[in-house]
Amino acid sequence: MKITPVILAGGGGTRLWPLSREDKPKQFHDLTGEGTLLEATINRLLPLNPDICIIATSGSYEKLSKQEIKKTGLNGIVLVEPMPKNTAPAILYSAFYLSKIYDDAVMIVLPADHYIKRNEIFIETIRTAVKEAEKDFLVTIGIKPESPETGYGYIKAGKTDGNVFSVESFVEKPDKKTAEKYLQDGNYFWNAGIFIWKVSVILKSFKDLMPDLYNSFIPLMTLKADRIASCKGRDYGLKEKIFSSVEAISIDYGIMEKAERKVVIPADFGWTDLGSWNSIDEIILPDKNNNRCPDKGNSIFVSSNNCSVFSEGKTIALVGVENLVVVESANNILVINKNSNQEVRKVVDIVKSRTK
């Protein structure tokens, strides 16, 4: 059975402002010196020998997505969402497209903006997941927690068959005390937003569990694959009509929380959700003074400790300081104390208010 990655790359996240902006979000940036996050996500899946990959994204990022696919040498299709409606509509859209080109296939759904350190273990985990998906299970990957993280949703595992567990429940982001309990209990895993299932199984799940959404997309079934992917004329107009009529809802809430045949595979492959400037420290090797920069030619550290520099070209020198992140991008400069990491959102709100 064919294995097809479906990469969700539509987010215009601003938590890594000013590098990540609405016009060029983080998945299209090189944060490690080893290629953009989207490019790395595609390359990571090449050992599975897919014929194609699908990038589900917004029209604003169609050209950027095609550029990243070209770098990898893999055939790829960009499915443009007329408007963002969270993950469930994007996945259903992709499943309808795949149903037109294969009798059936296994979809590997994953975000474009995560970092994975140990790819061999990742591929081994995905291959195990594919075997479970071929048994008609909805499969998700749970990350073994390393700390009582309050910024992630959790998956509570139930009965086990080797390294495959039934899913007892999906849990929203907890407070600190609850997260500490989850860590101690040992049967809670971080929800990485990675899903594996057969196209036929996920389409039936939508039909049974989200019939209104499924029925909204039925008109696509009259189109051939190239027209489902089209961004022109009446075909795109049809998709605009569909997307404007459906609610924004996540696949977790719409399908996974309600489905019966679902399993989770716990894994530890060095996963990082790059959702803050502090999280970037986990993927770049530090120097002897714990300073970091993906491009050493853009940074100078003198008598400085535990600082991180990200530059799109200018040389940034830090002297006699510590615990800072300095970012230069698109004529913007951000300087923050690492302990004030969550305050970046306030900066973004102020910037947006000034441009109105």
The whole-number pLDDT of residue 275 equals 76
- The Cα 28–Cα 236 span in angstroms is 25
Residue 102: what residue type? Y
Q: What is the pLDDT of residues 124-179, one digit of tens each?
A: 999 999 999 999 999 999 999 888 888 889 999 998 878 899 999 998 888 889 99
- The Cα 336–Cα 47 span in angstroms is 39
Question: Would the pLDDT of 341 be above 80?
Answer: no
Is residue 233 domain-shared with residue 134, that is, in the same domain?
yes
Tell me the percentage of the chain whose pLDDT exceeds 90. Answer: 69
> What's the pTM value of the predicted model, to 2 decimals?
0.91
Is residue 180 domain-shared with residue 269, that is, in the same domain?
yes
CATH number of residue 191's parent domain: 3.90.550.10
C-alpha distances in angstroms, 165 versus 129, 281, 341? Answer: 11, 32, 35
Which of residues 222, 255, 273 is at a domain's end? 273
The contacts of residue 177 (CB under 8 Å, 6+ apart) are none
Question: Would the pLDDT of 63 be above 90?
Answer: yes
Which of residues 207, 241, 273 is at a domain's end? 273
**Number of folded domains that form the chain:** 2
Is residue 269 domain-shared with residue 281, that is, in the same domain?
no
The whole-number pLDDT of residue 82 equals 94
Domain range for 111 is: 2-273
Is residue 129 domain-shared with residue 254, that is, in the same domain?
yes
The whole-number pLDDT of residue 150 equals 84
Instruction: Kindly state the average pLDDT of the residues 24-32.
Output: 86
196 strand-pairing partners = 108, 139
Number of other residues whose CB lies within 10 A of the CB of residue 69:
22
Nearest to 153 by CA among 182, 126, 130, 129: 182
- The Cα 248–Cα 192 span in angstroms is 20
Is residue 21 domain-shared with residue 126, that is, in the same domain?
yes
Q: How confident is the model at residue 322 (pLDDT cuts 50, 70, 90)?
A: very high
Which of residues 273, 296, 318 is at a domain's end? 273
